[in-house]
């Protein structure tokens, strides 16, 4: 491994400028979208582009926000456009591995415009969404795949694509992938790529096994390190606000969120992030949350609302600490100080990006003083704690112009998702509109399980099984019907478990299903196998019922006349009654 020239020649910067100059006449809009107002490269781009455009293996080190995405996007697209190979279904030509969905979308947003300008196609592959669209894109043929290791391995195991045609491989945020435990999967993926291809690795540090990736997969790489990844950018201003108690902290945080510019508030847990976003919105400051409990659609909607300026406040966990690039974020608030200095630097890197200025505020309780002192020392931050109270001039100066009050009724939170069985805006629940479950809204007429009915204007209640199925139930039932709620005997559970799980859409559900009790045992449970078509809707395992795999455990109690029985799903085998 040889070190790069510490003082790059001025001609090296022309690689970036020449590329944009060639792109702008033919595709001016795409050139502006790729690099609006950029006429000169950032240091990491100046250092790496000459070698990466020649096909050399490159190891680039730089802090967050230093421009690493363009540093590997431009040579990847440029070299593929000049290559003699062509696009084939399920056989991509370049692979970019990254740790998170958000970072994958961010890389695609940067790489796609210039790829299209040169006649290339890109796609993203990550979990949390249906794989059908990703498979469709692969079937059509793509040049560049931007993927997270987990879903990519799933598709490889299903033989839905091959990496035999990979010419360029990029590992972005390799240290973060190591922190998340992805290195074994990354190694398995890298082993399936051709050894003679070009490989580029970009990382802030080389610890936690990243150095092993360098030794194993990069051939005589050129090392470029343009800044100290363990230090914050010089354009970033840090403040540590010491508050007296939790109530004062709450008021200070609400005041910091009330400005007109974009700001990101970091929390430790998903629950607290969601809670704070709701509190801010209720107090007249529209906010959205971003954390791991949100589905991919909700994540994208919330991030789009923040990026477009529809909402100025983003409350996030560390999931947004990397790979989220939003222009003009003027303030980052560590509502909950992170546990380690690297997380502090990556959180803070959401502001002061690409040479711009930014402000970082840490809100500290008395019991957090020692932890914050160690944190700032390791992050090389010289700011000292300053005691503040709600309404102090220090806070007012950090907030700047206060945004106008927004009534909560006027805000439609993008993160809101109607859950199955909940009432929707157009009246009635989703289940009632599909004809499954009870009634929703006013007078909405739904269907119930066999042997039950519901009255107009009321939602029929039910018991949710471990697999998510519902069946109707009513209060004030007969004693025999109430016996259905009793625990399932161990003998019945053992019988159902012995039959084993059956595919949900098979013709028969293997489970304990209620039948009419004999005259001498009315009100006592009994079980048998029954064809799927004869089961009540809530006990079937078919599409739309929300049931999981595995047999159902069902209780039954005969009515007084002994002719019919009432069925209630109370659990799944293995999940308890």
**Stronger pLDDT, 312 or 29, i.e. the higher one:** 312
Model confidence band, residue 487 (pLDDT cutoffs 50, 70, 90): low
CA distances from 335 to 156, 242, 249, 290 (A): 41, 11, 8, 15
Residue of 417 and 10 predicted with greater confidence: 417
Among 55-69, 89-103, 312-326, 530-544, the minimum mean pLDDT is found in: 530-544
Residue 459: DSSP 8-state = P
**How do residues 128-156 score in pLDDT, each as one tens digit?**
899 999 999 999 999 999 999 999 999 99
Instruction: Choose between 490 and 200: higher pLDDT.
Output: 200
Confidence of residue 204 (pLDDT cuts 50, 70, 90): confident
Residue 398, Ramachandran bin (φ over 0: left; ψ between -120 and 50: alpha; else beta): alpha
Which has more confidence, 498 or 177?
A: 177
Q: Look at residue 262 in the predicted model and tell me its pLDDT.
A: 95
* pLDDT (0 to 100) of residue 207: 73
Of the two residues 477 and 348, the one the predictor is more confident about is: 348
Q: Which residues pair with 145 in a beta bridge?
A: 95, 123
Question: φ, ψ for residue 171 (rounded to 5)?
Answer: -110, 110
Q: Is the pLDDT confidence value at 576 over 60? A: no
Judge whether 432 and 441 are in contact, CB under 8 Å: yes
Which has the higher per-residue pLDDT, 511 or 166? 166
Cα-based torsion angle of the residue sequence 467, 472, 475, 481 in order, rounded to the nearest 10 degrees: -90
Q: Does residue 474 have a pLDDT over 80?
A: no
Report residue 122's pLDDT band, with 50, 70 and 90 as the boundaries. very high
User: Using 50, 70 and 90 to split pLDDT, how confident is the model at 504?
Assistant: very low
Q: Which of 239-248, 346-355, 555-564 has the lowest mean pLDDT?
A: 555-564
Q: Is the pLDDT of residue 328 over 50?
A: yes
Question: Which tokens go with 51?
Answer: 């070698």
Residue of 162, 153, 159, 220 whose CA lies nearest to 187: 153
pLDDT at 29 over 60: no
Q: Of 325-339, 354-368, 413-427, where does mean pLDDT reach its minimum?
A: 413-427
Q: What is the DSSP letter of 259?
A: B
The 3-state DSSP class for residue 574 equals coil
CATH of region 2-225: 3.40.50.300
Task: Scan for tokens 């042997």, then name that residue.
Answer: 451
pLDDT (0 to 100) of residue 526: 45
Residues in a beta bridge with 361: 239, 333
- Evaluate if residue 60 carries a pLDDT over 70: yes
Distance in angstroms (rounded) separating the CA atoms of residues 261 and 197: 45
What pLDDT score does 176 carry? 87
C-alpha 521 chain-centroid distance: 53
**What is the structure's pLDDT at 323?**
66
Task: pLDDT band for 66, please (50, 70, 90 cuts).
Answer: confident
DSSP state of 207: T
Question: Which pLDDT tens digit goes with each residue over 408-465?
Answer: 876 555 554 444 444 444 444 444 444 444 443 343 343 344 444 333 444 434 344 4
In percent, how much of the chain has pLDDT > 90? 47
Query: What is the CATH number that goes with domain 236-410?
Result: 3.40.50.300
How is the chain split into domains, by residue range?
Answer: 2-225, 236-410, 430-572
For the residues 479-500, what does the mean pLDDT come to?
59
C-alpha R_g of the chain:
29
In the three-class reduction of DSSP (H, G, I as helix; E, B as strand; rest coil), residue 200 is classed as strand
Computed over every residue of the chain, the mean pLDDT equals 75
Partners of 571 in beta bridges: 553
pLDDT of residue 228: 60
Residue 131 · residue 155 · CB < 8 Å:
yes
Higher pLDDT, 164 or 28: 164
The residue with tokens 């990382």 is 203
- For the stretch 291-305, pLDDT in tens is 989 988 899 899 999
The tokens describing 311, both together, are 């909402």
Q: What is the pLDDT confidence band of residue 94, given thresholds at 50, 70 and 90?
A: very high
> How large is the average pLDDT for residues 247-271?
96
* pLDDT(250) > 80: yes
Position 369 pLDDT exceeds 90: yes
Task: Report the pLDDT value the prediction gives residue 109, as an integer from 0 to 100.
Answer: 92
Residue 390 vs residue 64, higher pLDDT: 390
Stronger pLDDT, 489 or 104, i.e. the higher one: 104
**Confidence band, pLDDT 50/70/90 cuts, at residue 104:** very high
DSSP, collapsed to helix, strand or coil, labels residue 139 as helix
* Residue 70: partners with Cβ closer than 8 Å, 6 or more residues away: 16, 35, 41, 42, 45, 110
Between 95-104, 259-268, 545-554, the lowest mean confidence (pLDDT) is in: 545-554
**pLDDT tens digits for range 392-402:** 999 999 999 99
Is the confidence at residue 520, as pLDDT, over 70?
Answer: no
CB atoms within 10 A of CB 244: 12
Residue 466 has pLDDT above 70, yes or no: no
Phi, psi angle pair for 381, to nearest 5°:
-105, 130
354 — pLDDT class (breaks 50, 70, 90): low
Q: Does pLDDT of 500 surpass 50?
A: yes
Helix and strand totals (H; E) in the chain: 19, 21
For residues 325 and 465, which has the higher predicted lDDT (pLDDT)? 325
Q: Is the pLDDT of residue 529 over 50?
A: no
Q: CA-CA distance, 417 to 303, in Å (whole number)?
A: 15
Helix H or strand E segment including 426: none
> Residue 43: what pLDDT?
85
The better pLDDT of the pair 438, 20 is held by 20
pLDDT at 324 over 90: no
Are 99 and 177 in contact, with CB atoms under 8 Å apart?
yes
Please compute the mean of the pLDDT values over residues 121-126 and round it to a whole number: 97
pLDDT at residue 256 tops 90: yes
pTM recorded for the entire structure: 0.61
């Amino acid at each position: 491994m040889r070190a790069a020239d510490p003082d790059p020649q001025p001609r090296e910067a022309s690689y970036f400028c020449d590329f944009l100059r060639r792109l702008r006449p033919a595709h001016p809009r795409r050139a502006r979208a790729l690099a609006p107002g950029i006429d000169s490269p950032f240091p990491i781009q100046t250092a790496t582009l000459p070698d990466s455009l020649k096909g050399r293996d490159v190891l680039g080190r730089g802090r967050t926000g230093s421009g690493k995405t363009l540093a590997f996007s431009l040579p990847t697209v440029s070299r593929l456009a000049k290559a003699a190979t062509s696009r084939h279904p399920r056989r991509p030509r370049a692979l970019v591995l990254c740790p998170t969905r958000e970072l994958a979308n961010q890389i695609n947003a940067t790489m796609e415009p210039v790829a299209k300008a040169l006649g290339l196609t890109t796609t993203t592959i990550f979990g949390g969404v249906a794989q059908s669209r990703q498979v469709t894109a692969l079937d059509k043929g793509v040049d560049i795949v931007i993927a997270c290791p987990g879903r990519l391995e799933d598709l490889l195991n299903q033989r839905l694509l091959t990496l035999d045609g990979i010419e360029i491989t990029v590992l972005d945020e390799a240290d973060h992938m190591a922190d998340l435990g992805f290195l074994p999967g990354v190694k398995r993926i890298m082993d399936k790529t051709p050894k003679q291809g070009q490989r580029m690795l970009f990382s802030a540090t080389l610890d936690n096994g990243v150095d092993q990736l360098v030794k194993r997969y990069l051939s005589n790489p050129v090392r470029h390190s343009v800044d100290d990844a363990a230090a914050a950018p010089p354009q970033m201003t840090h403040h540590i606000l010491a508050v007296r108690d939790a109530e004062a902290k709450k008021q200070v945080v609400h005041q910091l969120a009330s400005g007109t510019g974009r700001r990101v508030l970091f929390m430790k847990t998903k629950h607290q992030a969601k809670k704070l976003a709701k509190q801010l919105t209720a107090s007249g400051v529209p906010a959205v949350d971003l954390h791991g409990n949100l589905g991919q659609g909700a994540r994208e909607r919330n991030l789009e609302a923040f990026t477009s300026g529809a909402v100025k406040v983003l409350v996030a966990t560390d999931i947004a600490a990397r790979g989220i690039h939003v222009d003009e974020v003027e303030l980052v608030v560590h509502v909950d100080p992170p546990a380690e200095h690297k997380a502090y630097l990556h959180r803070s890197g959401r502001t002061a990006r690409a040479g711009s200025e930014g402000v970082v505020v840490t809100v500290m309780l008395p019991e957090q003083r020692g932890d914050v002192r160690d944190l700032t020392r390791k992050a090389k931050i010289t700011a000292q704690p300053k005691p503040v109270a709600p309404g102090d001039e220090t806070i007012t100066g950090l907030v700047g112009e206060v945004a106008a009050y927004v009534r909560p009724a006027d805000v439609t939170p993008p993160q809101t998702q109607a859950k199955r069985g909940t009432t929707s805006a157009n009246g009635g629940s989703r289940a009632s509109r599909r004809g499954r479950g009870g009634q929703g809204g006013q007078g909405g007429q739904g269907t119930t399980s066999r042997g039950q009915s519901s009255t107009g204007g009321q939602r029929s209640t039910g018991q949710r099984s471990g697999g998510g199925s519902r069946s109707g139930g009513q209060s004030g039932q007969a004693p025999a019907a109430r016996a259905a709620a009793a625990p399932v005997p161990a003998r019945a559970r053992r019988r159902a478990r012995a039959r084993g799980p059956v595919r949900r859409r098979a013709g028969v559900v293997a489970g304990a299903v209620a039948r009419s009790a004999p005259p001498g045992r009315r009100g006592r449970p009994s079980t048998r196998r029954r064809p799927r078509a004869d089961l009540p809707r809530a006990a079937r395992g078919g599409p739309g019922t929300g049931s999981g795999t595995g047999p159902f455990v069902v209780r039954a109690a005969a009515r007084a006349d002994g002719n019919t029985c009432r069925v209630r799903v109370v659990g799944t085998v293995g999940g308890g009654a």
